[in-house]
Structure 1
Amino acid sequence: MAEVRYKDYSVLNYFAFNFAGFACIAIVVFLTATQPFYIKEVIGIEPKPGSSKDSKIGHIIGALGFFDELTSMISAPFLGGLIDKLNALGFGGSRIVQSSSFLIIVISLFGYAVINRSLIPDMFIFRCLFAFGVTACMSTVTVTLNEVTSSDFSLKMLSFWTKNSRGEHPQETADLPHDSAVVRSKKNGGFAGILGMCTGIGAIASVCILIPLPVEIVDWTGTSAKQGLKYSYLVVALFALVSMLILYRFLYSTGSSVIQDAARGHTQTYWKMIREGFEFSKNSRDARLAFAGAFVARATTVATTAFIPLVVYNFYYSKGECKNSSWSEKDSCYEGYKFAAILNGVAQTVALVSAPLWAYLVDRFGKNTIAIASGLGAFGSLGLSCNTNFEKYNPKTVSCFFFVSVIGLSQIGLVICSMSTLSGISNAHSIIGSLSGLYSFCGGIGIMVIILFGGIIADSWILGPFFVLGLFNLTLLGICFFYKKERQQRIADDESNGPIAI
């Protein structure tokens, strides 16, 4: 396949690239964290432990998550193929798809706030629409990471206070030959690490600003908890609309700057591009390892944002502090809501602070870093799930904060390592959208399993989802060791057959 290079990649393009991850994750964290409270306050379904399963919020969250990820899994490969096709035709597919994704998110959040009246079918419809928008955005992230990695952009260009820093670098890169060796020498751990930091900042911003919005609106306006939640969804919809405009204006467009065989986009069909990406991944260990990492990384992200609030909600409800419908009352879920935000905030803060470390490890050890991240994930998840009381768990303990922090550390590590592994494949630029779609597809499978089975288990074993997550991490760790052993065996065979040509 032809090597692709992207010219004139600016600082504003790079900021937009990172802002997309920031905005999308902030909105996702808000929606997943507020779901238990939205179901109770807006839909009017009370959690009743010990009653029929239809009244259990764990089952409802599991069902919503199932359809969310079913939508994501179905759409991700086709969205990736669409990006490849638009790029090949010179239309800048990544820019079009990623900016448009926020318009879909706006429509979904508006539906939650204004149109939604029932659990079925309204809430399921808008949740699936939301999932489609998020998938369109996150499927593009790996593509845009590949673009910046393969461009003439350097992190040195961010030193705008240095004289001629913007002008010197492009001249230097313009003199370089456009071959794969040049691109391969450019490590992408730094780009992935900064992107990971931005997504972490997005999660923290959501915890600090977006998630407390319903409570703040109730305090400011004196309205009911139900109206406070609806108004908060409108505010977040406005944020998504502004994000769409920013991305459309400043995202890098490959339309006029990509060096490739232009005829390819006209001769290869949309379906052939998707099939080509699938065939490539079957023969690429790096792609398969990235897909496995995506499975566990996405499962970890959802476990922290969806099941930590559920654990907290269950604890406060068992204490009799979730009875009233108004958050202004002392014995309502106000304190539970705040504590869930604090616990999630701890995990996301650890993730944010550790992002530069993971970026360094990726550049230093490459894809072997996935083993470190999965090992930490197994330790944190299994450690948290080791509790003698299956029905309830007190999250206000030092051990809970410790294990949640380890899970947050693993989460960002898995995200950075898996994205770096996929975007660093040097001979797949023309099908990177299709590979990214498959990457999101595998991540969707991880989320579907953890949400579906975790939601069912949570009603009987409140920490059960984290035990399942621990098993995921152990499996990924085993895959890493298997690939490493296989690679060592291959090197040994090559050496036994004679010197390796360089």
Structure 2
Amino acid sequence: MNCHRYINYTPLNYLAFNYAGFACVAIIVFLSATQPFYIKEVIGIAPAPGTSKDTKIGHIIGGLGFIDELTAMIVAPLLGALNDNLNLRGYSGSKIIQSSSFVIIALSLLGFAKLCGNLIPDMFIFRSVFAIGVTGCMSMITVTLNELTLSDFEFSKLLFWKKRNMIEYNPIILQEDVEDGREQPVVAVKKNGKYAGLVGVCTGLGAIFSVSFLVTLPVKFSGNDNNPDIGMKEGLKSSYLVVMTFALISFIALFLFLYNTRGDLDTETTDKKTYVEVLKEGFEFSKHNKHAQLAYCGGFLSRSTTVATSIFLPLMVYNFYYNIGECKTGNGNWAGKISCHEGYVFSAILSGVAQTVSLLAAPVFGYLVDSPRFGKFKTLATAGAIGAIGNFGLSLLNTQGNSYNPKTFTCFFMVSLIGLSQIGLIISSMSVLSGIPNAHNIMGSLSGFYSFCGGIGIMIITSLGGFLSDYWILSPFFILGVFNLGLLWVYFSFAKNGNA
């Protein structure tokens, strides 16, 4: 068997690996949190006076999420196979795809700020472009985590002032594995829970940075003492331009400092495979590998949870402020520069609670993944159980019909549990996928299918949840609770057969 290794993995490579997740999540949270307000202020769709059923903002939000994930589902497997194909041709697939994805994100934000007219179709077009960029970035995180896991990087490298002895690194340990009745050597990889946990911390920091700074930009740009004539519409557009600049800076940083895999891959037996053959190989591997299937279930749920907290929590808060009469229309103007400003800020606070819990819990889940007594599979199941409690608790407690008060201890506690589940699902599912033995040459394809499965979950929760939220505002979280129960059923089915 050929030796597979990634050598000379530098501290700057490691920092860039973590920064990619930070920057991408920050931009995702910003866009998701500002969309309900963008629909009203820029597109001009306001709640009809005297009724909540005529708003249909839930339909629009759900439709945007649907087109976002439809695009992601189509693009993710293609980008994954493109990564593997670029690697086999001697290029650094993950570096090219992940860095350039921020250019695509910047183009979509420019469209929202300058090109989007008062038409819903414009939003759908630029949201699709945004989805392509986000998919390129996020689908590569599992690939780069696999590169890090198989590299010579150790945390001691961060102590750059200390001298280290130069020794040749070789992560290969041959073991016997039985797959389909055949014995074959297995590449033993380092435990990667600590790496997955720290990238989870960075994504959590990205979310907190977003709700603390990026999401507050429209308020800062509109209606202050220095610019009393600037409204929320112009404030939103200006904030999109600022975030676009942030995306372009991120592109430059990642292009310069992401790890370059060129020359490190084994190509003796695979360099003649076409793009389609690489994609097919990843699909066939997924059909027979139980660990990959469990990781896909985790990806399905983790991305569904991320969408529920970033899209439907702000919608729930908006609905509350509308129902108490503080966001109604009057004389053609949104009565909201003062009252709905409070709703906007509270939405950021509630989302910030979930993301703060995720941030604090990320190292704990990383430790559990690496723990020999617990491991990545039990960690995945535990995150699913916590999610079931949080989502069912949020949707069924302290609610009457379509009326729900988010300013209660129950709401904050259940949202905290959802945030805890979210980071646990992300870390454990990524660890399961990136730690699959003998899959480094098709990791891009596997990561693409992982994102594809996440897209299926998001399409369900955004389309069905968005539709039902116009009648029961908490329905997306009830659906998410059912998803968590489904993950537990899959885990116990695999564990019963000795696969997890």
Q: Calculate the TM-score normalised by the size of structure 1.
A: 0.92
Percent identity of paired positions between Structure 1 and Structure 2: 58
Q: How far did 1:60 drift?
A: 0.4
Corresponding position of 1:291: 296
Alignment partners' CA distance in 2, 1:211 and 1:243: 18
Unaligned runs of 5+ in 1: 491-502
Aligned-pair Cα RMSD in Å = 1.9
Query: 354, 376, 383: which is aligned to 1:373?
Result: 383
1:414 aligns with 2:435: no
SS of equivalent residue, structure 1 residue 184: coil
Comparing 225-234 with 117-126, greater Cα deviation is found at: 117-126
Q: How far did 1:57 drift?
A: 0.3
Corresponding position of 2:393: 383
1:192 aligns with 2:196: yes
Quick check: 2:149–2:189 contact (8 Å CA) kept in 1? no
Corresponding position of 1:496: none
Alignment partners' CA distance in 2, 1:80 and 1:49: 48
Quick check: 2:172–2:188 contact (8 Å CA) kept in 1? no
1:336 aligns with 2:343: yes
Q: Aligned pair in 2 of structure 1 residues 26, 111: CA closer, same or farther (>3 Å)?
A: same
Quick check: 2:83–2:93 contact (8 Å CA) kept in 1? yes
Q: Deviations over 1:133-180 (max 9, x none)?
A: 00011111110000000011112222335x21xx33xx34x1546445
Alignment partners' CA distance in 1, 2:211 and 2:249: 20
1:400 aligns with 2:376: no
* Aligned ranges 1:87-486 → 2 under 5 Å: 87-161=87-161, 163-164=162-163, 167-168=164-165, 171-172=166-167, 174=168, 176=170, 178-179=172-173, 184-218=188-222, 219=224, 221-222=227-228, 223-256=230-263, 258-262=264-268, 264-265=270-271, 267-323=272-328, 325=333, 329-331=337-339, 333-364=340-371, 365-387=375-397, 388-486=399-497
Q: How far did 1:327 drift?
A: 8.2
Alignment partners' CA distance in 2, 1:191 and 1:209: 26
Q: How far did 1:3 drift?
A: 5.0
Q: 2:94 is matched by which residue type in structure 1?
A: S
Q: Deviations over 1:42-75 (max 9, x none)?
A: 0000124886977410000011111110000011
Q: 1:65 is matched by which residue type in structure 2?
A: G
Q: Aligned pair in 2 of structure 1 residues 191, 317: CA closer, same or farther (>3 Å)?
A: same
Q: 2:293 is matched by which residue type in structure 1?
A: R
Alignment partners' CA distance in 1, 2:190 and 2:414: 35
SS of equivalent residue, structure 2 residue 497: helix
Q: Aligned pair in 2 of structure 1 residues 49, 475: CA closer, same or farther (>3 Å)?
A: farther
Q: Calculate the TM-score normalised by the size of structure 2.
A: 0.93
Q: Aligned pair in 2 of structure 1 residues 106, 119: CA closer, same or farther (>3 Å)?
A: same
Quick check: 1:390–1:463 contact (8 Å CA) kept in 2? no
Quick check: 1:215–1:327 contact (8 Å CA) kept in 2? no
Q: 1:159 is matched by which residue type in structure 2?
A: L
Alignment partners' CA distance in 1, 2:119 and 2:357: 35
Aligned length: 480
Quick check: 2:52–2:323 contact (8 Å CA) kept in 1? no
Quick check: 1:80–1:436 contact (8 Å CA) kept in 2? yes
Q: Deviations over 1:194-225 (max 9, x none)?
A: 00000000000000000000001112533111
SS of equivalent residue, structure 1 residue 221: coil
Q: 1:381 is matched by which residue type in structure 2?
A: N
Alignment partners' CA distance in 2, 1:370 and 1:380: 15
Alignment partners' CA distance in 2, 1:487 and 1:253: 37
Q: Aligned pair in 2 of structure 1 residues 400, 95: CA closer, same or farther (>3 Å)?
A: same
Quick check: 2:377–2:432 contact (8 Å CA) kept in 1? yes
Alignment partners' CA distance in 1, 2:57 and 2:83: 37
Unaligned runs of 5+ in 2: 176-185
Q: Which has the higher helix share?
A: 1
Q: Aligned pair in 2 of structure 1 residues 57, 318: CA closer, same or farther (>3 Å)?
A: same
Quick check: 2:297–2:453 contact (8 Å CA) kept in 1? yes
Quick check: 2:265–2:441 contact (8 Å CA) kept in 1? no
Alignment partners' CA distance in 2, 1:477 and 1:469: 13
Q: Aligned pair in 2 of structure 1 residues 177, 64: CA closer, same or farther (>3 Å)?
A: closer
SS of equivalent residue, structure 2 residue 348: helix
Alignment partners' CA distance in 2, 1:143 and 1:395: 38
Q: Aligned pair in 2 of structure 1 residues 395, 180: CA closer, same or farther (>3 Å)?
A: farther
Quick check: 1:149–1:186 contact (8 Å CA) kept in 2? yes
Q: How far did 1:426 drift?
A: 1.6
Quick check: 2:381–2:491 contact (8 Å CA) kept in 1? yes
Q: 2:227 is matched by which residue type in structure 1?
A: T
